[in-house]
């Protein structure tokens, strides 16, 4: 899992891709969401860079409707489609957990409004602690249980002490790199990593 740049993909197709991944993973897929940072890339792929987060929210709303219903329609500013069926349906209901990436101030508001969790990259205990405090405050203001929002440290170090510090700061989970870019992780390497961090 990483962050899918939502404005660069149509929600009808992306909903099917995510549901397929969730199906083949046995309901273990985590949906990392981003809006992109490269203006030219976003626009050449059909996104509206200036309003990419508004477009992202619409796409997520459309996908949630497709995942939760046998048939759904959506009529918005960026996406407009009639009543359609989308298969497969995800194993996780009503949908796979949605994690918003980034550390900009608005990401916390967006996470509380339509996400299941926050996924900052290259997290430090300080970043996690500050972000968790903001999320908790915004969740209470919105009438949402702060415990319903998960914090996942993305690209965390494979070090037990550092992982413990992230957990103490408020991280619920962590994603670690398993191998060097040029190598495939073997089962033995994965077992060794598990021993290091558990």
Residue 182's pLDDT band, with cuts at 50, 70 and 90, is: very low
pLDDT at 1 over 70: no
Give dist(CA 166, CA 125) in Å, integer.
5
Asked whether 87 and 67 are in contact (CB, 8 A), the reply is no
Tell me the average pLDDT across 50-59. 96
pLDDT of residue 24: 96
* Domains of the chain from N-terminus onward: 3-197 (3.20.20.30)
Give dist(CA 109, CA 85) in Å, integer.
31
Give dist(CA 56, CA 58) in Å, integer.
5
| Distance, first Cα to last Cα, the chain | 21
Tell me the average pLDDT across 156-164. 89
Asked whether 48 and 78 are in contact (CB, 8 A), the reply is yes
Nearest partner of 29 among 14, 18, 16, 39, judged by Cα: 18
Residue 4's pLDDT band, with cuts at 50, 70 and 90, is: very high
What pTM did the predictor assign? 0.88
Whether the ω angle into residue 88 lies within 30 degrees of 0, i.e. cis, is: yes
Task: Please tell me what DSSP assigns to residue 75.
Answer: E
pLDDT at 151 over 90: yes
Asked whether 138 and 112 are in contact (CB, 8 A), the reply is yes
């Amino acid at each position: 899992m990483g962050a899918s740049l939502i404005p660069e993909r149509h929600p009808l197709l992306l909903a099917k891709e995510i549901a397929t991944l969730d199906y083949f993973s046995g309901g273990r897929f985590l949906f990392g969401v981003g809006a992109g940072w490269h203006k030219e890339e976003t626009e050449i792929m059909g996104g509206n860079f200036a309003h990419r987060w508004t477009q992202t929210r619409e796409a997520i709303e459309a996908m949630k409707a497709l995942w939760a219903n046998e048939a759904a329609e959506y009529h918005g500013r960026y996406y407009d489609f009639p009543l359609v069926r989308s298969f497969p349906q995800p194993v996780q209901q009503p949908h796979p957990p949605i994690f918003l990436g980034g550390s900009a101030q608005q990401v916390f508001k967006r996470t509380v409004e339509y996400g299941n969790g926050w996924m900052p990259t290259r997290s430090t205990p300080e970043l996690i602690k500050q972000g968790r405090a903001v999320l908790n405050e915004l969740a209470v203001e919105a009438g949402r249980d702060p415990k319903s929002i998960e914090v996942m440290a993305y690209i965390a170090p494979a070090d037990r002490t550092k992982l413990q510090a992230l957990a103490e700061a408020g991280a619920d989970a962590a994603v670690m790199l398993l191998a060097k870019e040029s190598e495939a992780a073997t089962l033995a390497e994965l077992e060794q990593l598990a021993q290091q961090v558990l």
